Amino acid sequence: MGELAPLRAEVAQACRVAAARGLVDGTLGHISARVDDEHLLIRCRSDSDTGVAFTRPDDIRLIRFDGSPGSTGELDGYEVPNELPIHVETLLAHPEHRAVAHLHPAAVVAADLAGIRIEPIYGAFDIPGARLARGGVPVYPRAVLIRTAELGKEMVAAMAGRPVVICRGHGITSAAATVPQAVLQAISLDQLACMSLRIRSAGGTCRPIDESDWTDLPNLGPAFTAEAAWRHELARLEWR
C-alpha cells in the first residue's frame, strides 16, 4: 500500500521524537495511526529491532484491529505489540482520535507515584500544556500490562474522555486527531511532571495557577503552537 508511505514515515518520525525527548527508553513504547474503521498503522518489533529511537518506516506495519495483518506480508518478520488493546480500545471508544501514543516518561511515572497530581502549575511557560492539565490529569490506577480488551476498556474508562491518561507504575497514553499532536501532548505532560518534581525537591508546593489567569492564556492557533512545535521537534532530530 504505497499510499500509506507518508503516514508510515510520520509515525516512525514520531517514535524517534518520543525517544529523543526521553519519553521512551530501549524497545518499550509504541505509536499508532488510524487508517480506517478496521485498520491502523503501528510500530511493531522485529528480530533486528534496535529500539524506538531508531524506528524506520518499515517498522510501522498495517494491521487490523484484531491484530491480524492488514495485507499480505505486513507481519512477516514482525510482531504486534502486546499492548495493542491500548490503541484499539482508545480508537474504538473515540472515533475523533486518529493517533495514539503509549509511552513511558519516567518523570510522569515518578510524580504520580510520589502522590503529585499533575495540574496547570504554570501558564504562559507552556500554554498548551497548561490547558492539557486544566482540571487535572486522570490516572488509571493499575500497574499492569494492558494486553486484553478488558484491560484496554478499563484504561479508556479511566481516561474519562480526556486526551491523556497516566497509567500508574507504567507510563501514559496520549490520544489526538494527529500523530504529532499525540506526541506533543506527551511532551507537555512530561514537562509538567518535571517541573512539579523540581518544585517539590526545592521544598515548594505545587499549586494551580489562578482562575483569573485563564482569560489571558489564549489558544494561539495551530500555526503558532502545534505546527511550529512539531517543526522544532523534527529539526532537533536532524541535530542529534
pLDDT in tens, 99-157: 999 999 999 999 999 999 999 999 999 999 999 999 899 999 999 999 999 999 999 99
Q: Could you tell me which residues come within 8 angstroms of residue 62 by beta carbon, excluding any fewer than 6 positions away?
A: 1, 4, 35, 39, 40, 41, 69, 70, 71, 74
Q: Long-range pairs for 130-133 at CB < 8 Å and ≥24 separation?
A: 130/209, 130/217, 131/217, 131/219, 132/163, 132/164, 132/185, 132/188, 132/189, 132/192, 133/189, 133/192
pLDDT digits (tens, 9 = 90+) for 36-76: 999 999 999 999 999 999 999 999 999 999 999 999 999 99
The CATH number given to 4-239 is: 3.40.225.10
Domain boundaries defined on the chain: 4-239
Given pLDDT bands bounded at 50, 70 and 90, which one contains residue 240?
low
pLDDT at 219: 84
168 and 112 Cβ atoms separated by less than 8 Å: yes
- Rounded Cα gap, residues 41 and 19, in angstroms: 19
83 is catalytic: yes
Cell of 8: 508510515
Q: Tell me the whole-structure pTM to 2 decimals.
A: 0.96
pLDDT above 90 coverage of the chain, percent: 93
What pLDDT does residue 1 have? Answer: 56
How confident is the model at residue 225, as a pLDDT?
80
pLDDT in tens, 188-201: 999 999 999 999 99
pLDDT band at 83 (very low <50, low <70, confident <90, very high): very high
- 33: nearest Cα among 52, 55, 14, 58: 14
Do 113 and 141 contact (CB within 8 A), yes or no? no
Choosing from 10, 74, 83, 154, the catalytic residue is: 83
Q: Give 7's contacts (C-beta < 8 A, 6+ positions apart).
A: 33, 35, 41, 60, 179
